[in-house]
């Protein structure tokens, strides 16, 4: 009787310990996410040709939808978070010479730090998120000319908008949240 109670206590204690140990780690990557630009409607963070951009993504663009979806995993540097590509597992967004790139994970400490970002309240709005570099404090992912760069905050309203993103449902499963303006549908003039 006493032995059964002890065994039951050990099993229950082990289950609680494992759930506390494993669940926080698993919860990061359970649902991939996409990231919509705060000030460029319809443009999402994506990788293209191994570089980071914000691009318009349309519903029938299967490659774009995959390129614009990332698993948010525990930070490779041991804190904060990292962006893992869903269509290139083991590849992460990282900064190199201040440019955001998609690169295969290595064991180098510099890679781990370059690929780790702390999610903070959006610089332009608390409804969004901004991504601060672990190894370059006060440097954030931002877009400039639709390219993704790591830049030091200058505190300007434009910087804050360019460095703020809305976390959205994964584009691999759900269509883009904002319809893309395909331009004016001009009807050619009739021949004279």
Give the start-to-end residue ranges of the domains of the chain.
Answer: 25-168
User: Could you count the other beta carbons within 10 Å of the beta carbon of residue 117?
Assistant: 27
pLDDT at 163: 98
pLDDT digits 0-9 by tens, 126-138: 999 999 999 999 9
Is 150:100 a contact under the CB 8 Å cutoff?
Answer: yes
Is 111:103 a contact under the CB 8 Å cutoff?
Answer: yes
CATH code of 25-168, in short, is 2.80.10.50
| Residue 64 binned pLDDT confidence (cut-offs 50, 70, 90) | very high
The structure's pTM equals 0.77
| Residue 174 binned pLDDT confidence (cut-offs 50, 70, 90) | confident
Task: Single out the residue of 154, 73, 146 nearest to residue 115, CA to CA.
Answer: 73
Mean pLDDT over 18-45 rounds to 69
């Amino acid at each position: 009787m006493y032995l059964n109670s002890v065994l039951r206590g050990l099993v229950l204690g082990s289950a609680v310990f494992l759930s506390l140990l494993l669940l926080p780690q698993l919860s990061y990557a359970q649902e991939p996410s996409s990231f919509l630009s705060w000030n460029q409607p319809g443009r999402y963070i994506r990788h293209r040709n191994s570089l980071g951009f914000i691009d318009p993504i349309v519903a029938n663009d299967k490659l774009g939808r995959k390129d614009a979806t990332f698993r948010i995993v525990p930070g490779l540097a041991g804190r904060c978070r990292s962006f893992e590509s869903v269509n290139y597992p083991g590849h992460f967004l990282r900064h190199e010479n201040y440019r955001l790139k998609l690169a295969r994970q290595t064991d180098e400490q510099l890679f781990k730090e370059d690929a780790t970002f702390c999610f903070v309240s959006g610089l332009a709005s608390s409804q969004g998120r901004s991504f601060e570099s672990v190894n370059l404090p006060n440097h954030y992912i931002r877009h400039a000319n639709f390219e993704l760069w790591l830049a030091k905050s200058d505190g300007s309203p434009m910087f804050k908008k360019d460095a703020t993103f809305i976390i959205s449902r994964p584009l691999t499963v759900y269509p883009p949240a904002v319809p893309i303006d395909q331009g004016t549908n001009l009807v050619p003039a009739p021949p004279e």
